[in-house]
A and B are shown apart, each in its own frame.
Chain A
């Protein structure tokens, strides 16, 4: 920076145009300030646009492949369409009113209408959300979160929900559950916002409550409301292509760097902290699930490994910008073992058909991660609560000597569970009355690809 400044000064001094009226020191300083600001904006904006693209990559093809491989061959396209169609539908909602309801100032529970039709969302930064990137960048980055969240739910109703019902459900769900929850946690003046005037400061760096608890709990409600797939669990319903699922899970892992490290909203050291925590947690969670499986079933499976990695990524999401690398390793490992337990033992015990374990991974992992964030968040990584009178950063989590934060986290968890649970139940009831949520038995036997979309995933003899 010093060298750049000297070069700039030299250039100014030697400029023949300016030679006639040499600029004052103040003029030169303000020019320098502008140049510095532009340089930072361009660096941060480059990372944030990359992150936005990475988060979209998580839904398509990441999640579409992950989920698509886990269903039976007759439902592969129907399952991929759940993810893909949301990339289109949620985008339109977001442009019209979604972004405004989530991020405009309003009540503690839902945003106002200031950004309706993206009014006032342009190239100038919004200092509250990201002082060094265009407001429009922040808007499109957040859109990618709004897309993947309802797509995660689709794991619970896969192989048996009508396409029309799915579209209607997710439009209503985004409006009633996601936009308000995003506002409460991340919107200025939101009830749970930790830095922008919330009454209960709940730490959620990249969406443990907003994305994973809401989608996971809604998934559980969907699984119970829709009921089991025909023949479950008597008939074999093996994943039809674990190779697709492997590719999808690895794309999720990569995309998650945009999800978590991008949530720093700058190409900063904080982004690096989040990046490292994210990667570390995915690693130990993969090991945790594999080892648990090895002990219980005698063999470590690939599906177990990738499921564990996703569980770890889920659990570290709220914590990623607040925790040190070693707590991240621990959070990941605990998430891997805990989600394995939820998916294999708890699900069997209660008998609900959470087809692709959206609740067992996202609901359970998200809840665990949100609570552990309260334990391990530290101001050594992120002085999110500001400084005290003497200029020392205020403590964040239990490790900083603030055990009360765990209760704040629990409040966020409870609000997310209740909003998602009740909201989803009402929406399902409504959609069921309007168009019917479940396909007919004949359609379910024939498969969603043919009956909903009129095509097949594998025409191998064509």
Chain B
């Protein structure tokens, strides 16, 4: 099993969610986060006080998939979340040791 952690543009969330649903990925967890990579922030000015806003709002989207579906899901994520501009985000992939469904003790891929 692999955990796919995607940092994406907030306005892309709906598109990504739909795309994942269309290939049968139902379980996702979403967090509102702030951060930046190579993308520069922007400047705000209030009565002459200048503030550099470096941390921009992003969405962190996590999902765990069977090994066999990893490439397909990553491709789907990338194509749904991409605008082609700097600031589109990143995807990280992790190995997952196990998964447990709390309701009935299902283990492993059966719990996904």
Contacts and interface: CB of A to CB of B under 8 A. Distances in A.
B46 A344 contact: no
A299 B49 contact: no
Contacts of A297: 45, 48
B73 to A, nearest CB: 32
B46 A238 contact: yes
A344 B47 CA distance: 6
A238 B44 contact: yes
Contact of B48 (A237, A239, A348): A348
A256 B96 CA distance: 66
A344 B51 contact: no
B51 A303 contact: no
Interface string A269-301: 000000000000000000000000000110101
B46 A303 contact: yes
A357 interface: yes
A290 to B, nearest CB: 12
Nearest to B47: A343
A303 B47 contact: yes
Interface residues of B, number: 8
A348 B49 CA distance: 9
A307 B48 contact: no
B49 to A, nearest CB: 7
A238 B48 contact: no
Interface string A227-265: 000000100111100000000000000000000000000
Residue of B44, B46, B47, B49 most packed against chain A (CB within 10 A): B47
A304 interface: yes
Nearest to B49: A233
A426 interface: no
A92 B45 CA distance: 41
B61 to A, nearest CB: 22
Contacts of A299: 45
A296 B48 CA distance: 9
Contacts of B53: 236
Contact of B51 (A238, A301, A348): A238
A299 B48 CA distance: 11
Contacts of B46: 238-239, 301, 303
A345 interface: yes
B51 A357 contact: no
A343 B49 CA distance: 10
Contacts of A239: 46
Contact of A304 (B44, B47, B51): B47
Interface string B23-55: 000000000000000000000111111010100
A341 to B, nearest CB: 10
Contacts of A304: 47
A239 B48 CA distance: 13
Contacts of A303: 46-47
A357 B47 contact: yes
A347 B46 CA distance: 13
A311 B57 CA distance: 35
A207 to B, nearest CB: 24
6 contacts: A236-B51, A236-B53, A239-B46, A297-B48, A307-B47, A344-B48
Given A297-B45, A303-B47, 14 more contacts: A233-B49, A236-B51, A236-B53, A238-B46, A238-B51, A296-B48, A299-B45, A301-B45, A303-B46, A304-B47, A307-B47, A343-B47, A343-B48, A344-B47
Interface of B: 44-49, 51, 53
